[in-house]
Amino acid sequence: MPVPTYDRFIEPILRYLYTHADGASAREVHDAAAAALGLTDDEMAEVLPSGVQRVYKNRAGWAHDRLKRASYSESPRRGYRRLTEAGRAFAEANPSPLTDELVQKVATEHDDVLLKCGPKPISAEAAVVAPTLTASPDDRLEAAVAELRATTSAELLEVLGQVSPKYFETIVLDVLHRIGYGTSRSDLQRVGGSGDGGIDGVISLDRLGLEKVYVQAKRWQNSVGRPDVQGFYGALAGQRAAKGVFITTSTFTPQALEFAKSVEKVVLVDGAKLTELMIDYEVGVTLRPIRVPKLDTGYFDE
């Protein structure tokens, strides 16, 4: 028998987490769901065509994604799962087994809901619209890739919200180096700390360090306001710097964006843009190659 589709993993994950009020690791949740569905060792060993992940783990992951979008589950820390109060109430109000209609509601009704990072939702991608039955395979593929990007962006924001401020500064410098700043990684130095004057990193654009870009990296949940950006601008003036990049995991207020445009020397990067860059430049992300066949009509020209 093939490994069940991801929607069949929703109920076993829900029930397992309900019996573990403090939550459980993703591995425990995935294996418990596989056991509840009666998967054999051979079925659990089956891998995706890309070879990068086991099928049952992939489908269990998407099932938990749907529970999160329905606000029934959460990830309090990396690699951990726990039901929310709404999830516990849902489990209590709907004894096992869930009806097929209810499973499909959880699986599909909330697939356009943006996941959250902290108390406020942060949009990393526009909501993904599910393709219709008449959509072409290319359209369905594009929609699937867009959904994968949106989900990965939300996961990145969750992880970034859990790392230490010091390590977040290192991640930001890694991203800027991948983009092309600095001739080598050693040209990007983390300088954040007490008394840093609002500067968390310095990038030397040339080997002699004659031209520098100053960086501020803030792992925040609340929006960054104009006073914070003005403070960074003042720190740049203190360094006699001509360029600065302010990066945050949250968003910037309209007033902050307006101020940055007025001074021209400060570039603002919010959480949505940061995760987009991390995906595009493969920082903390692995891009899977997809081999899509297409007929080469030129080959058959006689």
Token output for 181: 């700043």
How far from chain centre, in Å, is Cα 1? 33
Q: Which residue spans within the chain are E strands per DSSP?
A: 24-25, 73-74, 80-83, 116-117, 120-121, 188-190, 201-204, 212-218, 244-248, 266-269
Check: CB of residue 235 under 8 Å from CB of residue 265: no
Q: What is the pLDDT of residue 134?
A: 59
The mean pLDDT value for 222-230 works out to 92
d(CA 202, CA 193): 13
Are the beta carbons of 277 and 283 closer than 8 angstroms? yes
The C-alpha atoms of residue 184 and residue 26 are separated, in whole angstroms, by 37
pLDDT band at 36 (very low <50, low <70, confident <90, very high): very high
Q: Interhelix angle for 10-18 vs 26-36, to 10°?
A: 120
Per-residue confidence at 211, pLDDT binned at 50, 70, 90? confident
Domain with CATH 3.40.1350.10 in the chain: 165-280
Is 3.40.50.620 the CATH number for 165-280? no
Whether the predicted pLDDT of 296 surpasses 80: no
Architecture of domain 6-111: Orthogonal Bundle (1.10)
Summarised one tens digit per residue, pLDDT across range 43-58 is: 999 988 767 788 999 8
pLDDT for res 63: 93
N-terminal to C-terminal alpha carbon distance within the chain: 46
Please indicate whether residue 133 or residue 228 has the higher confidence score (pLDDT): 228
pTM: 0.67
Contacts with 85 (C-beta within 8 Å, 6 or more apart), sequence order: none
Pairing of strands 24-25, 188-190: unpaired
Model confidence over 117-156: pLDDT tens digits?
Answer: 433 443 434 444 455 555 667 777 888 888 889 889 988 9
Tokens of 72: 């029934």
Domain ranges in the chain with CATH number 1.10.10: 6-111
For residue 39, pLDDT over 90 is answered with yes
Query: Residue 168's Cα: distance from chain center in Å?
Result: 14
pLDDT in tens, 229-287: 999 998 888 877 778 999 999 999 999 999 999 987 899 999 999 999 999 999 999 88
Span 100-122, pLDDT tens digits: 999 999 998 887 666 554 334 43
pLDDT computed for residue 118 by the predictor:
39
